[in-house]
Structure 1
Amino acid sequence: MAERSDCMCPCSCLRKKNKVKDEDLPVPVAIKITKRLCDEDDELSEVEPDAVPSEVRDWLALTFTRSMSNIKRRGEEKPKFKSVAHAIRAGIMVDRIYRRLSSSTGLHVPPHVLLLLKHLDEWGFDVFAVNDAADNHSLKFVGYELLQKYDIIAKYKINSTVLDTFLLNLEIGYSKYKNPYHNLLHGADVAQSVHVILNQSKLVHWLTDIEIFATIIAALIHDYEHTGTTNNFHIMTGSEVALLYNDRAVLENYHISASFRMMKNDDSNILSNLSREEFKEFRNLVIDMVLATDMSFHFQQIKNLKGLLSMPESIDKAKALSMVLHCADIGHPAKEWNLHYKWTNQLLEEFFRQGDREKELGLPFSPLCDRSGVLVAESQIGFIDFIVDPSFQVMSDMLEKIVSNLLKEQRSGSATSINEDPAYDVKKDKSTSTTSLHSSSGSSRSSTPKLLGSDGKFEFLKPWLDHLVKNKQIWKERAAKDAEERKKKEAKGENTNNNNSDTSSKTSDVKTNDSQANSPIPLNPSGK
């Protein structure tokens, strides 16, 4: 990993702020519960043997669990972040006019790209359209837009030229291996998805400025310089990266290290004006979040959060934000069908390229990497049922618990009102759709709707859950159709793999708006 550098957080740049010391805060019981849960073994307990095809089960086991040899006890939990009342900090985020990307003090963005970026607050945001309009610079513009929305550039005095270089270097890193899936579009898409989740749920009002900054950057860099192959591939081939990180969270460790090394360069150091304390908090949160995108921790992460949800204590910010990033990372089955369909086509090609390399090296094919054929529809159904849907359900429950507690404290007068937080209006974009957090709030705080139901529980729109249901139904219809086609071929004595082999070579030409397309689509993993 990258070494911490004093040049990132010089004392001379220390901004005087009134802060609550971590050592003065109580350590909730939830930390002890989490420690106990983390010590338990991972298991694929929720997947029944006959619930999914064997290939799908093999993939689930390989990708989302850890072998016993790779399980290690985690270190002592660090104390929780600042108290909820301090985290809200109404007044810190001042009410400022939202500065568009075409501002003279920022990066220039073409008008046709700016028009598409107005939909950044929507769950159905089309990053592919933005990338086409932006001449393959979607990460640069989305990243800048998000930092502007939260006023991060001004708060931390980030030089516009340095920021431009940082974002361009990110794009270069994401493009290093010319991956069909793990590329700059994926980085932009995940960052935008995290933004929508934070605002849709109002979780953003629970966060301090430095936590918002760290969250955006963690999402942007989470797959920086991804090799287009999985962690298991690195381990099986004994790659230099696997040797460096001892087969544990190989790619995730590399993404973090490479990103911080890049930010040590003066021309890319967007952290130069952070104080030592701010840099430490920023770096720790980024590390926690990106390491949590290692899919082998998936079931343990879900188990931990379920345990925490059953307890009355508050949930640690790092764990909450890690879950949000994890869901955004694996979440395109929860997007509109046309977006989900396009992403899965691109991931299919990336899987097959790994399979080609495995064949050349004489290694067994990893699940879903054999071009000769995959049970695609069944794989997607299994992935949604056992991975994506449970993840988004737990995340949604977690978000509702966190914000419900905040609103209850607000109602009792023990916490700053979320509705009175100036940030509530700052992050509003009047051009956004009704799925945006602030589109339903009106033009002023006085028109904010009641957020707590009669049962005292906070609820919010969850468009991702509706899309999961719809997409799963489409895959079920395709699975039935595929099964019928296989039966016909078997009756004719044909090779059932021929059709998959023929169509897989054309995946890059599949039109994303054709819901009746017959080309196979892969299971949608993180690819790690």
Structure 2
Amino acid sequence: MWRGKPLLEGSRQGSVDGKSNVSNDKELVHKCHSDPGGGRALGAAPRTHRHRSASGALRKCVLTLDGYSYVIEQGALTIVRRSSSRSKTESCSTPTDEQLDQLDLETEHLPAVDTPDACDKAALRLRYLLRQLNRGEISAETLQKNLQYAAKVLEAVYIDETKPAVARQQSAPTLVFRRLADEDDELSEVQPDAVPPEVREWLASTFTRQLATAKRKSDEKPKFRSVAHAIRAGIFVDRIYRRVTSTALMQFPQDVVRVLKTLDEWSFDVFTLHEAANGQPVKYLGYELLNRYGMIHKFKVPPTILENFLGRIEEGYCRFHNPYHNNLHAADVAQTVHYMLCQTGLMNWLSDLEIFATLVAAVVHDYEHTGTTNNFHVMSGSDTALLYNDRAVLENHHISAAFRLMREEEYNILQNLSRDEFREFRTLVIDMVLATDMSFHFQQLKNMRSLLSLAEPTIDKSKATSLVLHCCDISHPAKRWDLHHRWTMSLLDEFFLQGDKERDLGLPFSPLCDRNNTLVAESQIGFIEFIVEPSMGVCADMLECILGPLHSGNKSGTNAATEPTIDENSGAESVNKFKIRKPWITCLSDNKKIWKEQATKDAEARANQEQEENIEVQPPPEE
């Protein structure tokens, strides 16, 4: 399959279901040195130019594929974006009768419908079909296939033209594309009586943006969409994991190996791992994940360097002795990200480098957390808030400190990445960790909902992995009750410690940080209903949208993590719809039910206490 192969090699031999990419279509025959930049996609023969010196030695090779030129010259590989301009010989002028007579109407090896060549092919075939219809020389089957292809090309062009300009071909018409979201606060849609004022205040202060920030235009990286997606759709197999016990890498204690056997479970017990690992869950779990996904081998990460890196990351999480934002939380989030990658099949949609970046981002996402919120840093005027201008204070520090650590030779797990790989890796990690800033929560969900509402949404890899990491970061209410309750108590301890600091500094209490006036059960109900449940719902919808096409392309092999079901709303034309497993739904329902029971008991206890206090303060009756 595509993953694990050199780029050039994969381009030459990529295929779907074992079929060769080399086309026998007469239209696709080209001579060397005559290609000004016409792209090719999967199903079409890549063009190769070879330039030889006077002695006959091969000095330069140019392979054109899917709109990109791969230039090999003196041992170096350069990737060049194909210009959208076309030569006169490739213009869309009216074809001659001679050209039409040479046309082959077979549709098996046509270029992908979302490539520039597809428009030319569709136009040429439509003209030929008209001529053949007039002559009565066309079969119904051939007519139907070619019309279907032309319709798909038109649909793809329409969808492509609704993308932002940076994501369109330069030759595409300029259209005003739909804004995906507005900057309004989603909490305004929540009825005031639906949640206690204190909890509402906490939700508003934590999960909405306090300051307007300048919008950064995303620099879309070129994607080999038609090739990579088609190959993954055609193959879609489970990855083969490398087991730690079968390698000569870092030695794992037997108790740790025993606990890691349950690593694929949704409600993985990281507390048990912490005990088995002698207080080093990040070290062992991080190493296990990077080895399972083949990242150590793929990116030539020296085992000793990786062990050193994970050890220092673990120390950074323990630096401030936080009850919640510590190495246990880092390990828990990394394991939850693994579940999303592995058990849903998301890893089949991502490249090796994107998987590597996602796992590392999960491990470092709260590195050197101070145990206080961004708002506390801003209100107290900390050095970190001054350094990052009050914007995503902690998240910026987590990223900066982690990459600063990786600049040191003994901790540089990225030392064997190429320059381009490093830039892509760094960009992905920055995007993912910044997206864990809770003040972006509602905007992030609204953007994804709007995107998913489109007829055929195209989801950016960075946005997808960012939403996954954010959901995993806040997922403890969606785990088994005993785990969730333990996390809740740890988080409240951390909030109360911040409240003590705020009292000492003369600052107002942040929501839920006053240990004497906090509604624990109510806060968790609000957190589940307004934050976690909507987040997990949008994330699941996104994953099903992404993975549905890959699953439909794998008719012969079904991923055990999927649940094809019948869409009951489509009536007589109901079809199998791809679904992922959602173990969090049951956990959220159970946990919310328990908290509601606890809230009722707490309300009764407070009412009884108030009644007793009123009796005590009442004056004795006059005689």
TM-score (norm 2): 0.68
Q: Distance in 2 between matches of 1:257 and 1:250?
A: 11
Equivalent residue for 1:29, pick from 156, 162, 168:
162
User: For residues 159 and 379 of structure 1, what CA distance do their matches in structure 2 show?
Assistant: 45
Deviations 1:119-170 (A, max 9, x none): 1111011000000111011111110111111111011111010000010011
Closer, same or farther: CA 404–96 of 1 in aligned 2, 3 Å: closer
Instruction: Give the match for residue 171 of structure 1.
Output: 314
2-side partners of 1:279 and 1:248: how far apart? 25
Bigger shift: residues 374-383 or 82-91 = 82-91
Matched, 1:384 2:494: no
Which position in structure 2 is the counterpart of 1:468?
588
Structure-2 separation of matches of 1:170 and 1:351: 23
Residue 55 of structure 2 corresponds to which residue in structure 1? none
**What does residue 366 of structure 1 align with?**
510
The question of whether the paired residues in 2 share the 8 Å contact of 1:38 and 1:73 is answered with no
Q: Secondary structure at the match of 1:170?
A: helix
* Structure 1 position 402, deviation (Å): 1.0
TM-aligned CA distance change 1:127 to 1:419, over 3 Å: farther
- Equivalent AA in structure 1 for residue 302 of structure 2: N
Among 340, 362, 368, which residue is 2:484 paired with? 340
What 5-or-longer segments of structure 2 have no aligned partner?
A: 1-5, 12-65, 69-79, 83-113, 116-159, 166-175, 568-573, 616-623
2:213 to 55, 68, 71: 71
Residues 352 and 455 of structure 1, relative CA distance in 2, 3 Å threshold: same
CA deviation map 1:161-217 (0-9, x unaligned): 000001001101111111110001111100110110122221111011001000000
Indicate the residue corresponding to 2:601 in structure 1.
481
Q: Aligned residue for 1:215?
A: 358
Given residue 29 of structure 1, which amino acid in structure 2 is its aligned partner? Answer: T
CA–CA distance in structure 1, aligned partners of residues 223 and 614 of structure 2: 62
Residue equivalent to 1:274: 417
TM-score by length of 1: 0.79
Q: Cα–Cα, structure 1 residues 131 and 175, in superposed 2: closer, same or farther, change >3 Å?
A: same
Q: Distance in 1 between matches of 2:441 and 2:161?
A: 24
> Within 2, Cα distance between the matches of 1:383 and 1:45?
16
Q: How does 1:18-167 map to 2 (within 5 A)?
A: 18=10, 23=81, 29-31=162-164, 36-37=179-180, 40-67=183-210, 69-79=211-221, 81-83=223-225, 85-86=227-228, 89=231, 98-167=241-310
Measured against aligned partners, the alpha-carbon deviations of 1:205-253 in whole angstroms (never above 9, x if no partner) come to 1011001000000111100000100000011111111111111111111
Separation in 1, partners of 2:555, 2:360:
24
State how far apart, in whole Å, the 2-side matches of 1:494 and 1:34 are.
63
* In structure 2, C-alpha distance between the alignment counterparts of 1:389 and 1:101, rounded to whole Å: 35
Candidates 442, 461, 464, aligned match of 1:317: 461
Q: Is the 8 A contact 1:46 1:386 kept in 2?
A: no
Per-residue CA distance 1:238-283 (angstroms, 9 max, x = gap): 1111111111111111111110010111111111111111111111
Choose the corresponding residue for 1:490, options 601, 607, 610.
610
Kept after mapping to 2: 8 A contact 1:333/1:388: yes
- Equivalent positions of 1:287-326 (< 5 A) are 287-311=430-454, 312-326=456-470
SS at the partner of 1:50? helix
2:336 equivalent to 1:193: yes
For the pair 1:349 / 2:469, whether they are aligned, the reply is: no
Q: Structure 2 CA distance, aligned partners of 1:120 and 1:42? A: 37
SS of residue in 2 equivalent to 1:163 = helix
User: Aligned equivalents of 1:245 and 1:165: distance in 2?
Assistant: 28
Task: Name 2:577's counterpart in structure 1.
Answer: 457
In the TM superposition, residue 18 of structure 1 has moved relative to its aligned partner by 4.9
The answer (yes or no) to whether the contact 1:179–1:227 under 8 Å persists in 2 is yes
Alpha carbons 2:385, 2:393 under 8 Å: kept: yes
Contact 1:210–1:282, Cα closer than 8 Å, also in 2: yes
Q: Deviations over 1:296-351 (max 9, x none)?
A: 00000011001001111221111111111010000100000010011111111111
- Determine helix, strand or coil for the equivalent of 1:493: helix
Given that residues 236 and 551 in structure 2 are in contact (C-alpha distance below 8 angstroms), is that contact kept between their aligned partners in structure 1? no
| Local SS of the residue matching 1:45 | helix
Residues 1:351 and 1:82: Cα distance change in structure 2 (over 3 Å): farther
Root mean square deviation, CA, Å: 2.8
d(CA) in 1 for partners of 2:388, 2:485: 34
Q: Which has the higher Rg, Structure 1 or Structure 2? A: 2
**Bigger relative contact order, structure 1 or 2 (CA pairs below 8 A, ≥6 apart):** 1
Partners in 2 of 1:376 and 1:300 — Cα distance? Answer: 26
CA–CA distance in 2 between the matches of 1:324 and 1:381? 22
1:508 corresponds in structure 2 to none
Shift of 1:387: 0.4
Match of 1:237 in 2: 380
Q: What letter is aligned with 1:192?
A: Q
Amino acid at match of 1:325: L
Work out whether residues 87 and 207 of structure 1, in 8 Å CA contact, stay in contact via their aligned partners in 2.
no
SS at match of 1:280: helix
Spell out, residue by residue over 1:70-102, the C-alpha distance to the aligned partner (whole angstroms, 9 max, x if none): 432222442464416415755999998644334
Secondary structure of the 2:189 match is: coil
Aligned 8 A contact 1:378 1:479 in 2: yes
Q: Which deviates further from its counterpart, 457-466 or 95-104?
A: 95-104
Q: Report the 3-state secondary structure (helix = DSSP H, G, I; strand = E; otherwise coil) of the residue aligned with 1:259.
A: helix
The aligned residue for residue 10 of structure 1 is none
Partner of 1:510: none
Q: Does 1:393 align with 2:393?
A: no
Aligned residues: 451
Q: Is contact 2:236-2:550 (8 Å) kept?
A: no
Task: Please name the residue that 1:329 is paired with.
Answer: 473
Q: Deviations over 1:376-431 (max 9, x none)?
A: 111111111110000001111111111113334x2xxxxxx4967xxx9xxxxxxx
Give distance in 1, aligned partners of 2:345 and 2:418. 28
Unaligned runs of 5+ in 1: 1-13, 411-416, 425-437, 442-447, 496-528
Q: Given that residues 452 and 459 in structure 1 are in contact (C-alpha distance below 8 angstroms), is that contact kept between their aligned partners in structure 2?
A: no
Q: Percent identity, please.
A: 55
Q: Aligned partners of 1:133, 1:273: CA distance in 2, in Å? A: 32
Which of 399, 404, 409 is the matching residue for 2:548? 404
96 and 79 in structure 1: CA distance in 2 versus 1, 3 angstrom threshold: closer
More displaced, 467-476 or 313-322?
313-322
Q: Structure 1 residue 45: deviation in Å?
A: 2.6
C-alpha displacement of 1:106: 1.1
Q: Aligned equivalents of 1:100 and 1:494: distance in 2?
A: 66
